Chains A and B, each alone.
Chain A
């Protein structure tokens, strides 16, 4: 009889979830939309080439040296150069349409060639203007432009080309023997949004339990000869299934539309996903146990969810956090879920990379469930 009741509880929750169009849209469509948006603005896929910095370049000099500089910049893999006037370059930067503007002033070619030959005198100035909100790009542009200017000016001055006494090789490093590995910002953004909305789904189910209590449905459930274990087990099972569906639908879409691949261990990916869904189920149960009413519980639990996903690196990767914050966020379950999914998707790591996140997420699930059981109001009067 316990199994019949257990299955009926799970089936009922799934039916209710799927019959609520708003819940389905929030669970499936919204994370896809936001994940796609964040993935697009944070770089796309490295397999499609590294992102370039947009630069507006104004050549007021018009000489052979400045033309060589412009040609060098245009051919550079790091830059996407638009040659324009100074006024237009400044206007674009001011309006935030472009990160960096480079202005080669009149007489720059001759002046810099003379300064190099004579090793002194007045040096002409290259003007770089930039959007103050994008300081990272300006450093890169300055370095790249210096390289091209030195090459062009040295050639014009008849100075033998200077060779660095060392070479530099760069390689984007992901797991060996993982042919699909490679950073894909969609993999991270869909993991983050999948987890965020998986938490929202569990949160809604927790609040639904409070609604059931208000509407007498809980009384009807408790008056049946069913153990507390069956009731809690049924709720955890249905919350886990719905949360897992939310995550897998998001990822499935990302795999089809954005070439996200589980480049590492599939078993590890599934283990982290299931453990994360169980953690979310425990979170939902916690809301049902601690909440006084659906209305108050919704506000507090939404805030708690957003803090967890923000600190867990679901919106932006945790490596951009200050060092101390990176340490603090280790106590946030979402951090482990994001790390686990990153490891098994674009990093292309094996099953071992999923073990720790899975164990810790299951520990959080157990902790949330234990607190819920201790605080649950079983009696109705």
Chain B
């Protein structure tokens, strides 16, 4: 579904991403982990079409993504780390705008909005301004905005930052449902337990390079044989304990 092939991106003398490759399959969730500054966000940006790789390519259904108006971008949905919503507009007006960016209009847009709001449990608050929402509700609406055009691939950049356990659990349920619907999910986070719970495959990036790409069981077996069975210990073994900020 999604294949990242040998991509590289640098900013001046800083190589942010170097020869990164991995794949995300339909109905699977791939966790993308890495310390701060490892290159996760730059990688997600290249997949979403926000930045152009200097080398390598991003393949969607086997075709290389190219240009701002490439129709393949319709197959990708982005859920940014920031709450990318207009507080002064209602949930419905936010979604109406984001849907129109993908060419949705009329009945198709209304149906898409209803489906997305129902999935995240906000259908009854559709007419309320976003500024009246709690942090968890905004996170769920942020997810709904990325789903509106029914993408086959969903890029989730730390989608549970700052939410309470109830909203986090609701988001996890949404993601499980999306997996069941056959969506390919790429999930970046700093919360190891989330990846342990959700991910079918885990990619760990450090200093712009992939240092591990395996299932959770594979990482346990390969990185810490006979050692502690936690993703955090695997992560620290691979990326070290030195501070990155």
- A residues neighboring B (CB under 8 Å): 1, 4-5, 7-9, 11-12, 15-16, 19-20, 214-217, 219-228, 379-381
Contact = CB atoms under 8 A, between A and B. Distances in A.
Interface in B52-98: 52, 68-71, 73-74, 76, 78, 80-86, 88-89, 93, 96-98
Nearest to A16: B88
Interface residues of B, number: 41
A61 B25 CA distance: 108
Given A19-B88, A216-B82, A381-B9, A1 B49 contact: no
- The A contact surface, by secondary structure, is helix
B73 A224 contact: yes
A229 to B, nearest CB: 9
Given A223-B73, A225-B69, A216 B11 contact: no
A380 B50 contact: yes
A227 B51 contact: no
10 contacts: A4-B105, A219-B48, A220-B80, A220-B101, A220-B145, A222-B48, A222-B49, A379-B51, A381-B16, A381-B42
Given A216-B84, A379-B50, A381-B42, A8 B97 contact: yes
A222 B45 CA distance: 10
A15 B93 contact: yes
B167 interface: no
Contact of A225 (B50, B70, B84, B85): B70
Contacts, number: 102
Contact of B51 (A5, A214, A380): A380
B42 A223 contact: no
Contacts of B42: 381
Most buried by A among B42, B46, B97, B146: B97
B68 A226 contact: yes
B63 to A, nearest CB: 14
A134 B12 CA distance: 62
Nearest to A379: B51
B117 to A, nearest CB: 17
A20 B88 contact: yes
A11 B105 CA distance: 13
Given A223-B50, A381-B9, A5 B101 contact: yes
B73 A15 contact: no
Nearest to B109: A4
Most buried by B among A216, A223, A225: A223
A226 B41 CA distance: 21
Contacts of A217: 82, 84-86
Nearest to B146: A220
A225 B52 contact: no
